[in-house]
Amino acid sequence: MAEGKVWVRRDREKPLRQKHPWLFSGAIAHAEAAQDGELVAVYDSRDRFLARGYWNSKSQIQTRILSWRDEAIDAAWWRRMLSQAIARRDLPAEDTACRLVNAENDYLPGLIVDRYGDWLVVQALTRAIDARKEKIADALLDLTGIPNIYERSDVEARQREGLSEAVGALRGAEPPATLAIKQDGIRYLVDMRRGHKTGFYLDQRDNRCLLRELAADCPKGARLLNLFSYTGGFAIAAGSGSHAVHVDSAYSALGLAEANTALNKIPAANAEFIQADAFDYLRHCVGAGERFDVVAVDPPKFAAHKRQIQRAARGYKDLNLHAFRLVKPGGWLMTFSCSGAISRELFQKIVFGALVDSRRRAQIVRQLGAASDHPVALTFPEGAYLKGLLLRVD
Ligand code: SAH
């Protein structure tokens, strides 16, 4: 198919020159023969080549950039980019799960690929990736030798691209109901078909390891509150030395948290699974005078857009205020926000506000982010969605 052409408005060229990969509709002066899902060459106002990307008129981000060089975006290009992304991962050999392609951050806008054992799970977030997913699957199969490739393109972002959901096997077999993966010596069951994201929160890997270290230094039987537990991640990583209270609103997630507890030989008596709204449960604990050595707070995204920031900030403040109240003096709070619209600075301010109201004192011991298989392109600050704080609370 013939390549289209796009001209950028002169006053909007700078981010593109600085290699930001998104070109919004308002930045485009004019387009010629651009077709949804197809390649376009991008020119500046003086008709000089700037970059090459793909087009979708239905999206606000009308062009996503693939290359700033005047090069062919052909099968060899895709293969090279996929191969480079995969080669960047250097995880322990015993590990069977990791993110292989982190979309814009691996210079492949709109494409996510996660590995779980003998399965790859692909998310095609844009029309151009959707149109090329069969070829991408062929290249992935060839590069990794992993025989089963499953698609989990059931994400809201696709609506903005004019796409419906797509779920199913691209290559090989359908995934089992759950698959046991191994990360840092810990085993987790992953539901690739119905689980969140592609099945597991791979981004929290390093923070789980950190929590394991903290728990190891706590006295035996230390109490750990795992709010928004999903399938148990943080408390499973902490192991059998502590008593974990997992809280999640989703019954199915708690079922897997319980199964993960058994899988890692954590005695059943050392874990509780509570289906509840985390906000309510926190209030209940404060009312009952409960105390924990470690509290982990890892809520879902509260702000999907800038206009939801205020409401999200109230949610984060409420959670952290009550969480502070529950931490034993000298204990730990590990708290997160995965809302892209909330900056690290703002998140810290919100947590500070919660601390003031709780009348406690706390130290930031670490700034937290996503694991190293979720790199963030420095040219793409939007990629740094996950931010967290490890706080010692007095
Ligand atoms: N910490 C987890 C990931 C958390 S994802 C891990 O390490 O894997 C966020 C979780 O919050 C989801 O499992 C979702 O079911 C749950 N959730 C969303 N809203 C909630 C609420 N109001 N109360 C309790 N849990 C909630």
pLDDT at 91: 83
pLDDT band at 210 (very low <50, low <70, confident <90, very high): very high
Of all protein residues, whose CA lies closest to atom 15 belonging to ligand 1? Answer: 250
- C-alpha 230 to ligand 1 mean position (Å): 5
- 139 falls in which pLDDT band (50, 70, 90)? very high
Shortest-distance Cα residue to atom 11 of ligand 1:
228
Per residue in 296-338, pLDDT tens?
999 999 998 999 999 999 999 999 999 999 999 999 999 999 9
CA separation for the pair 312, 303 (Å, rounded): 5
Please report, for residues 318, 337, 391, the alpha-carbon distance to residue 362 in angstroms, rounded to integers and kept in the order given: 17, 18, 6
Cβ–Cβ contacts within 10 Å for residue 231, how many?
Answer: 27
Q: Are 97 and 208 in contact (CB under 8 A)?
A: no
Please determine, for residue 32, whether its predicted confidence score (pLDDT) is greater than 80.
yes
In this prediction, residues 230-254 reach a mean pLDDT of 97
The model's pLDDT over 93-135, given as tens digits with 9 standing for 90+, comes to 899 999 999 999 999 999 999 999 999 999 999 999 999 999 9
Q: Across all residues in the chain, what is the average pLDDT?
A: 97
Segment 216-240 mean pLDDT: 96
Mean pLDDT of 368-383: 97
Share of the chain above pLDDT 70, in %: 100
Q: Does ligand 1 come within 6 angstroms of the Cβ of 348?
A: no
DSSP 291: -
Ligand 1 pocket residue status of 280, Cβ below 6 Å: no
Does residue 248 line the site of ligand 1, with CB under 6 A? Answer: yes
- Residue 253 Cβ inside 6 Å of ligand 1? The answer reads yes
The alpha carbon of 246 and the centre of ligand 1 are apart by a number of angstroms equal to 10
Check if 338 is active-site.
Answer: yes
For residue 228, the CA-to-ligand 1 centroid distance in Å is 3
What pLDDT shows up at residue 1?
64
Q: Name residue 391's beta-bridge partners.
A: 333, 364
- Write the CA distances from 10 to 16, 28, 92, 292, 383, integer angstroms: 11, 9, 47, 57, 26
The Cα 89–Cα 372 span in angstroms is 8
| Percent of the chain's residues with pLDDT above 90 | 97
Phi and psi for 109 in degrees, rounded to 5?
Answer: -55, 135
At 86 the three-state DSSP class reads: helix
Catalytic-labelled residue, pool 98, 218, 285, 338:
338
Which residue's CA is the closest to the ligand 1 atom numbered 3? 230
Tens digits of per-residue pLDDT, 34-60? 999 999 999 999 999 999 999 999 999
250 close to ligand 1 (CB < 6 Angstrom): yes
Of the candidates 120, 14, 18, which has an alpha carbon nearest to the alpha carbon of residue 68? Answer: 18
Closest ligand 1 atom to Cα of 250? 15
Residue 157 has pLDDT above 70, yes or no: yes
In the 8-state DSSP scheme, what is residue 175?
A: P
Ligand 1: centre distance to CA 206 (Å): 18
User: Of 265, 334, 240, 257, which Cα lies nearest the Cα of 293?
Assistant: 334
Q: Whose CA is nearest to atom 18 of ligand 1?
A: 300
User: How many Å lie between the centroid of ligand 1 and the Cα of residue 249?
Assistant: 7
Q: What is the pLDDT of residue 92?
A: 87
DSSP line for 270-290: GEEEEES-HHHHHHHHHHTT-
